[in-house]
Amino acid sequence: MQQSNWRPLPPYRVRGLTSVSIAISLAAICSSTTAASSSPGLAARAEVTAEGAKLELIERTRPDGTLERLFQRDAGQVLYRSAVTLRAGGFDVQILQGHPAQIGSFRVEGGQLEVRDAAGKPLWTETLKEPLCLPELFGEFVRAHWDRLSPGAAPLRCVTPIIKAKKTAPLQWRRLPDLPDGERVVELGPGSFGMRFFVIPTRLTFAADGTRLLAQQGQLEAPPRVDGRAAYLRGAARFTQTRTLADWPAQRFGGATVPP
């Protein structure tokens, strides 16, 4: 196997540690206030209601083009942070803050997936037989497969990496009826019987032309929890400021896209 030239993104400096209470199931969440070395420009913002708490989802662009995504309770109280960097034949995704079992790095390039833990140690590599989908890129994934997600078509399968289990797990997309104003709704759900215990159906609403993600309802990212469980938030996000989704070719996500 060819030696990888993986280089992790620079770490953030932790300025402090704060206890955050999010209802009973998320009481006393530990979150850190971090500062980037630059001042990224705001790209998108969403109001999030999750398990009785009001959160904020922010996406912003660093000067080098990296897209940063974070969930926070109040200014500076970060629950989850990730970063996406575009590559010539794929992309890098780093989970920088969140539940410890989820923190790590993913690289997709030339149809190959490479996964590393928080310290940069290689965990596994695999050739993607189905495209990879991650919460940070749900919008880009759907836009890349916009025509494939047609009414009545067979579900579109993808896989998502699970660091704790050191493997990828199957998910699937299907299109639901459009809203009266033409907005398109797609649903992401488990792609196997076993995944039904970990993934709940999640609906994403897009502008009619597919260029903007407007809302998401169901499963959200996984922050740290006081009970130590690696469980995802359940809630709804409504974007008050949207960004134009990157128009990527389906091949960038790896795997083979089979026509309906």
pLDDT digits (tens, 9 = 90+) for 143-158: 999 999 999 899 999 9
Residue 176, both tokens: 């639901």
Q: Would 219 be classed as within a structural domain?
A: yes
This prediction's pTM: 0.80
pLDDT at 23: 28
From start to end of the chain, where are the E strands? 13-22, 26-35, 41-50, 53-61, 67-72, 78-87, 90-97, 104-109, 112-117, 122-127, 156-162, 167-176, 184-190, 202-206, 213-219, 234-241
Work out the percent of the chain whose per-residue pLDDT is above 90.
Answer: 57
Q: How far is CA 240 from CA 170, 213, 214, 234, in A?
A: 31, 11, 8, 19
pLDDT at 211: 96
Distance CA 144, CA 141 (A): 5
Q: Would 188 be classed as within a structural domain?
A: yes
pLDDT at 197: 78
Q: Would 2 be classed as within a structural domain?
A: no
75 versus 113: the higher-pLDDT residue is 113
Q: Would 92 be classed as within a structural domain?
A: yes
Q: Is it the case that residue 13 has pLDDT exceeding 60? A: no
Distance CA 118, CA 135 (A): 18
pLDDT at 207: 97
152 burial level (CB within 10 Å; 0-12, 13-18, 19+): exposed
Domain that holds residue 92: 13-251
12 versus 257: the higher-pLDDT residue is 257
For residues 51-64, average pLDDT? 88
Q: How confident is the model at residue 44 (pLDDT cuts 50, 70, 90)?
A: very high
Distance CA 43, CA 143 (A): 18
Work out the percent of the chain whose per-residue pLDDT is above 70.
Answer: 78
Q: Would 227 be classed as within a structural domain?
A: yes
Q: Is it the case that residue 178 has pLDDT exceeding 90? A: yes
Q: Would 7 be classed as within a structural domain?
A: no
Residues constituting the chain: 260
231 versus 47: the higher-pLDDT residue is 47
* Mean pLDDT computed over every residue of the chain: 81
* pLDDT tens figures, 21-39: 222 222 222 223 333 333 4
Q: How confident is the model at residue 195 (pLDDT cuts 50, 70, 90)?
A: confident
Domain count for the chain, please give it. Answer: 1
- Local structure of 157: helix, strand or coil: strand
* pLDDT tens figures, 243-259: 999 999 999 999 865 44
For residues 39-52, average pLDDT? 82
Residues sharing a CB contact under 8 Å with residue 234, sequence separation 6 or more, in sequence order: 50, 51, 200, 218, 219, 220
Q: Would 1 be classed as within a structural domain?
A: no
125 versus 1: the higher-pLDDT residue is 125
Q: Is it the case that residue 7 has pLDDT exceeding 70? A: no
Q: Would 5 be classed as within a structural domain?
A: no
Q: Is it the case that residue 240 has pLDDT exceeding 50? A: yes
Q: How confident is the model at residue 4 (pLDDT cuts 50, 70, 90)?
A: very low
For residues 84-96, average pLDDT? 94
One-letter amino acid for residue 59 of the chain: E
pLDDT at 225: 56
